[in-house]
Structure 1
């Protein structure tokens, strides 16, 4: 059973694509390949966990998957800010991606709150 709107799923897929583009753009500039992997892993994990939430078997499972999305978005935001602070990419290129992180965090947190509120009734 699909729980999420196709528009949200596409939005997150686009976010993942943009994170991968950032990872590819910094691969020759950062001091360690592990950093590139961390950026790519955290950013794409958002998409994987959202798609898992879309097929969740229960409301608790749905909230758990969204909770992982929130954590991975927060980690992705950390890496984006680190990349900008160190000058590996222009901040102007990273700002829209960080803004998308913040927007998605608000959306997912609101979804978790609303789902848990319904469960308490």
Structure 2
């Protein structure tokens, strides 16, 4: 955004880095913005139905705002306990893809996946 504006009556400073989602198509300062297909109902799948086997799922994990996961704080606490225990029990010998494939998205950064070679496991 290059200028301060008021979309939907909300003052948004030009320096704002807040995340935004266009739920309904809109025109603002002469520009047209289409709604996101996952929220507009034009998607090929039901965005409000949980389906862990959904194809083409670029999920947002424990994101924020409209996509915020209610269980995210508990999941983060569990990960702080589980990951050190995993590294204590498993010997990793390296990445299977080095460097791993990264997302081409400025907002959701990081590896697309992180396949690793495992040498051994102790109980």
Which structure dedicates a bigger proportion of its chain to strand? 2
Normalising by structure 2, report the TM-score: 0.24
Which fold has the larger relative contact order, with Cα–Cα distance below 8 Å and residues 6 or more apart in sequence? Answer: 1
Normalising by structure 1, report the TM-score: 0.24
Which structure dedicates a bigger proportion of its chain to helix? 1
